[in-house]
Amino acid sequence: MTPNSDSQLRAATVRVAVAVPLDRAFDYTTDDGVPLPRGTIVGVPFGPRQLYGIVLGPGEGEVAPESLKAVSEVPALAPLAPAFVDFLERVAAWTMAPIGSVAKMALSQPQALQPPPQRKLYRRPSPVPVDETLTAARQRVADILGLAGAMSSAELQREAAVSASVITGMAAAGSLEMVLVSDEAAPPPPRLSGGPALSLDQTDAADAIGDMLAKGFGPVLLDGVTGSGKTEVYFDAVSRTIEAGRQVLILLPEIALSAAWKQRFRDRFGVMPTEWHSDVAAGRKRRAWRHAQSGAAQVVVGARSALFLPFADLGLIIVDEEHEQAYKQEDQVVHHARDMAVLRARLESCPVVLATATPSLESWVNAGKAGDAPRYRHLSLRKRIGLAQLPEIRAVDLRQTPPERGRWLAPPLVSAIAERLEAGEQSLLFLNRRGYAPLTLCGSCGHKVTCPNCDSWMVMHRLAGRLKCHYCGFESRPQRDCAQCGEDDSMQACGPGVERLAEEVLQRFPEARFAVFSSDTVASPGSAENFVTSVMEGEVDIIVGTQMAAKGHHFPNLTLVGIVDADLGLAGGDLRAAERSFQMLAQVAGRAGRADRPGIAMLQTMDSGNAVMQALLSGDRDRFLATEAESRRLAGMPPFARLAALVLSAGDPERLQAAMQMLSASRPHFHGVSVFGPSQAPLAFLRGRHRGRVLIQADKSVDLQAVIDGWVTKLALPPGVRLQVDIDPYSFL
């Protein structure tokens, strides 16, 4: 074969990343022999199935063209933008996840690849019937359409909280008219004028970001205390980007719960953003995907998976609450969405704004605050807007003023709650532990109730009358008698969860109206909105909540935050325990006193001298970050070094042992690389699988992925053994 004919044959083949979890791409021939450009989405036969994939380039020729199957479908879509295909390949290379798994994230809505169906939408007639009188429910429908223009019956039912019969009734009465539109209809454009007047601080920050737009890649750490108006600052950049005709992606953790955030967006821009998260129905996701790809969606707000939407022309990425661990995806393509957002911004040549009140140490160091060369611009907002004051933070030393036996609220906190009740103000009691008690123990023989699938205690959930494993979801019925020694009625609940705390609140303040805010009591975004509304309307005196209560809700009448166990987050002691504990406690404490009422946060602790507590009490966040940075630097830990975890798991413990021995025998020996393990993982049994773990620590100059690749890819692990690579791990279980 001459080189010339070889290249002609190759031109008729394409390399396709098929959306299956396999770490390789496959060659296919094209139907008419015409090469398809990189980024083309294609349907291909794969085993007995037809799957979608993304063309990465010309075929690589390891299989003769005559033995290849042909591309079976080319959906009528523009090829994915080159920067996006680059992004997918770089994510696969960085995370060491199969390229097929990454392609699958980008093609998560296969229905979006087909031409859209027609949709039935309802809108208000113009003019409205003269004799129209609307019930409260019908008025809600009319109000929402006043903002949204037109909506489907299903959307209206959800947004206005009405039944289908309200919609059909309104249509019959002439209060609504039905229109058929193509699913492709673009979302209404945001209103760009009429933003709020910004403070001097805010204007400086907004102008600084504004100057960076259209100047290519530029990361910014937007660092502002709770209530300082960060959102308005980045909304200003959003507005300028839309004005320039480019798209914006806003990432938020747990977006589904943030009704307050959506309301702020609607107040600012007059429309709802295109949403992308697990709670969005399939039809809306299909539209969001197409609108991102066509450029019709000017602003998409979403959870971390929105980073894998195929934007046509991304001009700005915002990562709000950048310090949140929810950005770390722990399965499939294990990655940190904040870090990948910075990568995407680099490839898209656009700014990325990392917004937070408590910066992650990574971003802090990248902003040059620990003495290293700055890679991110640092913009800070240090004042709360208007009259609002930062809360006063006090320690309650549990050694000096302990609660009574079997109770968890110490006398100073109890009196503070009583004062709030007297004054008609609200209190939040924070305990980041779901359920009633974290442990059930036999008072006679000491037997602990554990999960059959995991190395973990079963958590008592008294409201549900169940014992639950928080790792795998296994449930069982609580027993009164000990399964081990047979003693009658000997099983006792140990330690507090939010339910037990609520029980104490009821005993101490029988007149108070209280509510528990955790993922068990508030399971859906709708119920979260109801909960927030009831607190806003003053129907609750005392909120007992987990970290769900700490996120972004503004309760103007909440003036006391009691942190029941401020030491809890420091237990376990992984790399980021202190940092995470500080972030969470600062965020919860910041809930106190949002409006013109000063707030107090009281931290119950056994150790008010530790660095986290001292930083909170003195309000010296920067000193805490500096100390934390130095200790990481000394320990040779991220962000000053590189770290990866290899987690091996198997149903059969002997196979796991064999795999760990193989890994151990072939461990790499390189200068600047240290390998710890393989050893039993701290959580040695999880979801029915035995687990072993290796940590690899390396100098920043080391190509860690290459070291791991050279080590593990040539190993033929025993069947049934899974190996998960986690670059820059956040979980050390």
Site residues (CB under 5 A) for Zn ion? 442, 444-445, 447, 451, 453-454, 469, 471-472, 474, 482, 484-485, 487
Do the Cβ atoms of 395 and 354 come closer than 8 Å?
Answer: no
What residues contact 8, with CB distance under 8 A and at least 6 apart? Answer: none
Q: Could you tell me the smallest distance in angstroms from the CB atom of residue 650 to Zn ion? A: 17
Compute and round to an integer the Cα radius of gyration of the chain. 28
Q: Could you tell me the smallest distance in angstroms from the CB atom of residue 575 to Zn ion? A: 24
Nearest to 370 by CA among 54, 622, 555: 622
Q: Which is nearer to Zn ion, 211 or 475 (CB)?
A: 475
Q: Which is nearer to Zn ion, 400 or 492 (CB)?
A: 492
Q: Could you tell me the smallest distance in angstroms from the CB atom of residue 686 to Zn ion? A: 7
Q: Which is nearer to Zn ion, 306 or 482 (CB)?
A: 482
One DSSP character per residue, 693-705 reads EEEEEE-TTS-HH
Q: Could you tell me the smallest distance in angstroms from the CB atom of residue 721 to Zn ion? A: 20
Is the N-terminal amide bond of 639 cis, ω within 30° of 0?
yes
Q: Could you tell me the smallest distance in angstroms from the CB atom of residue 476 to Zn ion? A: 10
Q: Which is nearer to Zn ion, 93 or 485 (CB)?
A: 485
Do the Cβ atoms of 578 and 732 come closer than 8 Å?
Answer: no
**Cα(541)–Cα(555) distance, integer angstroms:** 12
Q: Could you tell me the smallest distance in angstroms from the CB atom of residue 306 to Zn ion? A: 30
The H-or-E segment that residue 349 falls in is none
Q: Could you tell me the smallest distance in angstroms from the CB atom of residue 653 to Zn ion? A: 17
Please state, as a whole number, how many other Cβ atoms lie within 10 Å of the Cβ of residue 460. Answer: 26
Q: Which is nearer to Zn ion, 484 or 610 (CB)?
A: 484
DSSP 321: T
Please state, as a whole number, how many other Cβ atoms lie within 10 Å of the Cβ of residue 356. Answer: 23
Strand order in the sheet with 673-686: 673-686, 689-698, 642-650, 722-727
With the CA atoms of 254, 255, 259 and 260 taken in that order, what torsion angle do they form, in degrees rounded to the nearest 10?
Answer: 90
Q: Could you tell me the smallest distance in angstroms from the CB atom of residue 492 to Zn ion? A: 10
Q: Which is nearer to Zn ion, 480 or 714 (CB)?
A: 480
Q: Letter for the amino acid at 485?
A: C
392 forms beta bridges with 600
Do the Cβ atoms of 695 and 304 come closer than 8 Å?
Answer: no
Q: Could you tell me the smallest distance in angstroms from the CB atom of residue 487 to Zn ion? A: 5
What residues contact 717, with CB distance under 8 A and at least 6 apart? Answer: 648, 659, 662, 723
Please state, as a whole number, how many other Cβ atoms lie within 10 Å of the Cβ of residue 722. Answer: 14
Q: Which is nearer to Zn ion, 45 or 653 (CB)?
A: 653
Q: Which is nearer to Zn ion, 252 or 454 (CB)?
A: 454
Q: Which is nearer to Zn ion, 517 or 685 (CB)?
A: 685
Residues in the chain, total: 733
